Each structure stands twice: as C-alpha cells, then as structure tokens.
Amino acid sequence: MVTQNAPQAQGSSRKLLLGARGSLLSRLQSGMVAESLQKAHAGLTVELKIVTTTGDRIQDKPLHEFGGKGLFTKELEQVLLKGEADFAVHSYKDVPVTMPLVDASALVIAATPPREDPRDVLVSTVAKSIADLPQGAVVGTSSLRRAAQLLDARPDLKIEPLRGNVDTRIRKLKEGQYQAVILALAGVKRAGLFDATLMTPIGMDVLLPAAGQGALALQCRRDSSDTLNVLRAIHDHNTTVCVDMERAVVQHLGGDCHSPIAALATIDRGDVHLRVVVGTRGGKPPVVRVSGAAPLAHANNALRDVLQALDKQHARKLLEVPAA
C-alpha cells in the first residue's frame, strides 16, 4: 500500500519520499512505481509527496505558448534539488531534451521501467479511425506533433486546442465539444479509463508518437547512491535504449516546444527500428518521414542513418522560425 505524506513508521528499514503531480494519472503511475519498488526491496516504504506544477495550473491554453512540457517537471525537479523528495516519476515525454527550465545537472534519470503501449488513441463517438472521421470534423488536441500528422493525412480536419487531465478531456468529448480527441494510450490505460466502445488505438503509420511516449523516467539526485541503487531494481535496459535514440533525434534537430517531432524506436527479434516524422513548425504539413534499422548491438548505426536521412531531407528547415 502506498501512503501519502504519512509520518515515519517506527522501526521501518527504509523510507523514500516520491515527488508526484496531483493529477489522477500522475498519482496512479507514481503509485504503480512505488508498489514495484516495495516488492523489489523488502522493508522499503515509499510515500507520495504531491507537488502542483505550472503545467497543472495552466489549463486553458496550449503549453507550447508558455514553455512546453517542461512545465510538468520544473517544480518536481526543484523539490528534488532542495532535498524535499528522494525521487520523482515523470512521463518521459515531458522531460525536456533541449531548453530545460531547471538546471538539472545535479539530477539523473536513474531508471526507466518497462514501457507501456506508446501509441496514440482516437476517442470518438462517430468514428473508429482517422480516415472515417466526417468531413471537417473537429478534433481536440493541443499537440503540434499530432496536428501536423493529422492535417497531412486529412487536410479538412479542424484542429482545436484541448487541455486538462485525461478524464477531463474525455468528458469534453462526451459533452459534444469535439467529434474526436487524441490521447496517449499509455496514460489512458494507466488511469484505468480505456473504453473500447469509444477508443481505438491509432496505427504508427498514421500517427507516430512523441519521443519517450509511454515510458516513465525515475529521477533522483546524482549524488544519492542509495536511492540510485533502489531505483535500478525496476530498470529496463531495452526501454532506455529506445528512448535514448528517440531523444537523440530531438536533440539533433534542436527541437523545442514549437517543434512537431515524432520519434519511436522499437526492438524486434534482435533488431532496433527507428521511425521519425517531422512536421512544419507550428503543427502543419508538409511532413518528412524517415526510418532506419540495425542489430540491437549496433543501435547507433540506425540512429546515424536516420539523422543523415533527416539532414538530406532538410528536416531542420521545417522547424525554423519563419522570416518576418
């Protein structure tokens, strides 16, 4: 059982304080991590410390107007640096690759548990696929990555901003504010909200996910060797290999919160496959699509080939700020 801000139990062998956002999804996925750690370490107690982030407070505007997904990690990293929590659990896609909002040099991603399904999911009462949406359908998403790919496939769609927690977004759809909304399948599953009557996972050939989507990042202070050792018990090497490749793509392209970049690495029968889609700055077509593969032992070869292909197709050009 995971407790929240409970007093130190007398005689307990070890207690760790886990910094978590107050959203339903954050509390649930943090609780899952806590339970996994407690199973791996006899006598360990993990308690949640709820932290309200800037990203949680801004509910009415797209985050890319205020600093991007890093607004979900900023306060958690500050809590770690102050020693007010031992570690934090982030959705890896929220951890900035470029332009961090906090100097996190004293922090480290200590572990990455096995990845959940990285796909996006279509939530709609009128269609089971993007192709089946009515002409001119209103689709809710504030993701520039999703917008660019959706408009590339269906230029007639009307993309409207959508913020709020997973349950709030689903409620807005049911109220008729949108004919469809797009969510990360991993978050829907972790929140226990998947409903097959409303939701259909979207194929990778239609909508490629964000770098790190479906993965969790367990972060702690770099000098905390005890905490590092505890967290490593639930680390998954293959997930880290894949997420590192995806984030290397974003780094190479100099991606920021206005950059519609999708990247997914997967491992199949000893080979790693890396796919990338880059849209035009601001979330519009055209898009560039590249892919590469290599034996897992030589994963960097696949990354190298993909980066070279992106350069040949001038992907960075799509992400540049238009001249005044």
Report the relative pairing of strands 138-140 and 180-184 from DSSP bridges. Answer: parallel
Judge whether 94 counts as a catalytic residue: yes
What is the rounded distance in angstroms from the CA atom of residue 140 to the CA atom of residue 132? 16
* Domain coordinates in residue numbering, the chain: 3-113+215-235, 120-201, 239-319
Q: What class has domain 3-113+215-235?
A: alpha beta
What is the rounded distance in angstroms from the CA atom of residue 177 to the CA atom of residue 158? 12
What is the rounded distance in angstroms from the CA atom of residue 213 to the CA atom of residue 218? 14
Considering the domain delimited by 120-201, tell me its CATH architecture: 3-Layer(aba) Sandwich (3.40)
CATH topology agreement for domains 3-113+215-235 and 239-319: no
What is the rounded distance in angstroms from the CA atom of residue 122 to the CA atom of residue 130? 8
The secondary structure of 134-161 as a DSSP string is PTT-EEE---HHHHHHHHHH-TT-EEE-
Catalytic residue among 56, 60, 86, 94: 94
pLDDT one digit per residue (tens) for the chain, 324 residues: 444 443 333 334 899 999 998 888 899 999 999 999 999 999 999 999 999 876 555 455 554 444 545 677 889 999 999 999 999 999 999 999 987 888 899 999 999 999 999 999 999 999 999 999 999 999 999 999 999 999 999 999 999 999 888 888 999 999 999 999 999 999 999 999 999 999 999 999 999 999 999 999 999 999 999 999 999 999 999 999 999 999 999 999 999 888 999 999 999 999 999 999 999 999 999 999 999 999 999 999 999 999 999 999 999 999 998 766
User: Over the stretch 6-60, which tens digit does the pLDDT of each residue have?
Assistant: 333 333 489 999 999 888 889 999 999 999 999 999 999 999 999 987 655 545 5
Q: In the β-sheet with 271-280, what is the strand arrangement from edge to edge?
A: 261-268, 271-280, 284-295
**Main-chain phi, psi angles of 91, to 5 degrees:** -70, 125
**pLDDT recorded at residue 124:** 98
Q: What is the CATH number of domain 239-319?
A: 3.30.160.40
Q: Which amino acid makes up residue 176? A: G
